[in-house]
Amino acid sequence: METRVQTPGQLFQLTQTLEIPLFQRPYVWTEERQWAPLWEDVVRLIELRMAQAPTATHFLGAVVMQQSSGPMGFAAEYTLIDGQQRLTTLQLLLNAASSALRDAEQIASANNLRKLTLHDEDLGFEGVERLKVRHTNGDGIAFQEAMLASTPPTSEASPSAHLILSAHKFFYDRFTEWLAGGDHDHMPQRATSLAMTLSRGFEIVVITLGTDEDSQSIFETLNARGTPLTQADLVKNLVFQRLEAEGANIRTAYEASWRLFDEPFWTSEVRLGRFTLPQVSLFLNHWLVAQTGEEVRTPATFTRFKHWLDYENSGRVIDVVQALHARAVEYQKWVTAGGTREGAVDTVELFFYRSLAAGTRAATPLVLWLFDKANGIERSEAEEALRWFESWVVRRAVLGLTAADMSRSVAQLIRDLRAADPSAVAKALRTLLEQFDSPGNYWPPDTEMQRSLHAAPVYRTLPRSRLRMVLEAIEDDARGYTSERGAWSGSRVPRDTMNIEHVLPRQWRQNWPVSSEQAEIERDEHVHRLGNLTLLTTPLNSSVSNRGWSGKQEAMTRHDVLLMNRPLRDAMEWDEASIDQRTTANLNAVIRTWPVPEGHAVVPAVRKSEIDTSWIDFRHV
């Protein structure tokens, strides 16, 4: 390994090509966070060198490159291991400055900078071969447009890779304004100062590795702290380093198995508690939990993956990549279908919709494990197991029980299920769920569901998405999806689209009067209960919603297509007793949708560590 401090003029003047591997992440630097601060540094340094400090320098950071093991051509070739965001931006900066100088008719300075981005055509280089930094990933086309165009391209030229073109335009516009901002008679001196500053005023630590040195360890060390790299970025670099060591065709492996992860579905951000992370990073974490049966914190995904790949995986890395791709395709199908609002969904797709509505993503690893063909579980057996698992997830969510132990419990289930007969996984999972007995993981029995929810103001206590999901399940129950006779000829109710309506309106006092203060208190307590809530295709405006019962009943009938509302159309009146009766009926539908084994009656054990000794409640006596 050789380490040197170099200026752009020293790094790029040689006849060599730095190649950015196709598996590295795309260009992500932006104006606010990187381009504008860099431009301020450029202006500050130019003005400093033009004034009292002609040898002033500015440090740009470090890059790591490794000499290519392939056959050498006329230009030496290196693979850029780390620093591609920095060097891509620097190349765009130099090229934009050269273009601005050329358009200002400062040809000598323009040519001096252009030699730092493009190989000389007189040496036989043509087209893409002229680039001194070459992208082989998805940014390649946009980078070529920016660097090889006879006129500065616009960011609209390639919407799919607009950041690179936008960066070039940003720097071109700034250089053009700066050059025009001085005295025209001093333009040549300003141009020379600009070219000299860009080529000699910036310093970069260049770490050059030999062909057989471990570039991955250097990459990890440099990105260990304060890096915007995601866990997926680190896994990706490790995997392709290992593939190259195996002698696999890197481009074929990327195109066949990894390009998927660069698509919008996988790069989109998903929320996990107070944080967000790319879908691909979350998937890799869940896949790893399914493989190891261990709770893996999302920030530790790469570290645990590397250990698993090096010491626990017995197959080839190419097999791992192909397996990841197969699971990812299935996962994307489940999540996408679960996000659709209408149409048929299978058991797994419905689970993904309901679990996300329930507010948890931590259940996913068990689903990945159940439906992994490598575990030899028949589809029907896995679906039966999933139905028990969904009951556990949703019952706890509807009661508002903590999900803090969800990840740990799911990992434990996977570990324990590994020892089960694949043909009896559903029974084994059901038994394991029944055995959970702590407040953080027990399976709520029917008695608790009825006792806790019968008088609960669920409209206030449950998030809207979760409450809507429960009401949808009640409608599906009315359509026969949880009865022995099976579903009716129609489809499930549309998901996440209908409006939650109070039958007894929240503003009931004008048109729903009662005779005493105690009756008012009782009516207020019933307004937000499960039996007073329903779904409608169109929201009722407040003037209709607050009418007396006959007017409200007529309006709801006009907006109603649901079976769950048929009893409302036939009701002679609507009062507290009606709400209690309908709450009981709705709770029975909830219990049928998410059943527990007959006789299940667990009482969670409260451990001493879970009791706040600063106060005492009757339940602790």
Please name the residues in contact with 37: beta carbons below 8 A apart, sequence gap of 6 or more. Answer: none
Query: H or E stretch including 59?
Result: strand 58-67
Q: Is 209 helix (H, G, I), strand (E, B) or coil?
A: strand
Alpha-carbon dihedral angle through residues 123, 128, 134, 137, given to the nearest 10 degrees: -160
> What does the pLDDT read at residue 57?
82
Shared domain check, 239 and 158: no
pLDDT (0 to 100) of residue 79: 84
List of residues 6+ apart from 371 with CB closer than 8 A: 330, 348, 377, 379, 382
- List pLDDT tens digits, range 230-243: 888 888 888 988 89
Show the low-confidence residues of the chain (pLDDT under 50): 157-161, 224-227, 487, 489, 607-621
Are 202 and 274 part of one and the same domain?
no
Q: What is the dihedral sign for C-alpha 78, 79, 83, 86? A: positive
Judgement on whether residues 322 and 209 belong to the same structural domain of the protein: no
User: Are 358 and 466 members of one domain?
Assistant: no
Task: Specify the pLDDT at position 137.
Answer: 79
Is 240 found in the same domain as 215? no
Question: How many structural domains compose the chain?
Answer: 3
Q: Kindly give the interhelix angle for 406-417 and 425-435, rounded to the nearest 10 degrees.
A: 140
Measured at the CA of 369, the angle between CA 363 and CA 373, to 5 degrees, comes to 150
For 258-297, write each residue's pLDDT tens digit: 999 989 999 999 988 778 889 999 999 999 999 999 999 8
> In this predicted structure, what is the pLDDT of residue 455?
95
DSSP structure string for 579-600:
HHHHHHHHHHHHHHHS---TT-
585: tokens are: 């009926």
Q: What's residue 614's pLDDT?
A: 44
Shared-domain flag, residues 289 and 399: yes
Both 215 and 288 in one domain: the answer is no
Instruction: Yes or no: say if 329 and 257 are a contact pair by the CB < 8 Å rule.
Output: no
Please give the Cα distance from 58 to 67 (Å, whole number): 27
User: What is the pLDDT, as a whole number, of residue 154?
Assistant: 58
Where is the domain boundary, 399, 431, 450?
450
> Tokens representing 88?
């891509």
Please check whether residue 608 lies inside any domain of the structure.
no
Nearest alpha-carbon partner for 514 in 505, 506, 523, 503: 523
Q: Which of 222, 239, 260 is the last residue of a domain?
A: 222
Tell me: do 198 and 63 sit in the same domain: yes
SS3 label, residue 3: strand
Q: Evaluate whether residue 135 is within a structural domain.
A: yes
Count Cβ atoms within 10 A of the Cβ of residue 419 and give its class: 0-12 exposed, 13-18 middle, 19 or more buried: exposed
Q: Is 279 found in the same domain as 331?
A: yes
Which pLDDT value is given to residue 475? 95
Q: Decide if 620 is inside a domain.
A: no
Assigned domain for 483 exists? yes
What's the Rg (C-alpha) of the chain?
32
Token pair recorded at residue 251 = 């481009």
In sequence order, the 6+-apart residues with CB closer than 8 A to the CB of 122 are none
Confirm whether 598 is domain-assigned: no
List b or e across 75-114, with b for residues whose CB sees 16 or more CB atoms inside 10 angstroms.
eebbbbbbbbbbbbbbbbbbbbbbbbbbebebeebbebbb
Domain contains 145: yes
Q: Residue 571 sits in which domain range?
A: 458-593
Which pLDDT score, from 0 to 100, does residue 76 have?
Answer: 80
520-526, Cβ contacts within 8 angstroms, sequence gap of 24 or more: 522/576, 523/576, 525/455, 525/457, 526/576, 526/579, 526/580
243 and 371 inside one domain: yes
Identity at 411, one-letter amino acid code = A
370 shares its domain with 427: yes
- pLDDT at residue 388 in the model: 98
Same domain, residue pair 290 and 412: yes
Instruction: Tell me if 485 is assigned to some domain.
Output: yes
> What pTM value is reported for the model?
0.72
Could you give the CA distance from residue 605 to residue 392 in angstroms, rounded to a whole number? 17
Q: Judge whether 619 lies within some domain.
A: no
Instruction: Give residue 226's pLDDT.
Output: 39
Give the pLDDT confidence of 457-504 residue by residue, as tens digits.
999 999 999 999 999 999 999 999 986 555 454 688 999 999 999 999
Structural domain ending residue among the three candidates 389, 415, 450? 450
* pLDDT tens-digit readout, 127-183: 888 898 998 877 888 999 999 887 766 555 444 447 999 999 999 999 999 998 877
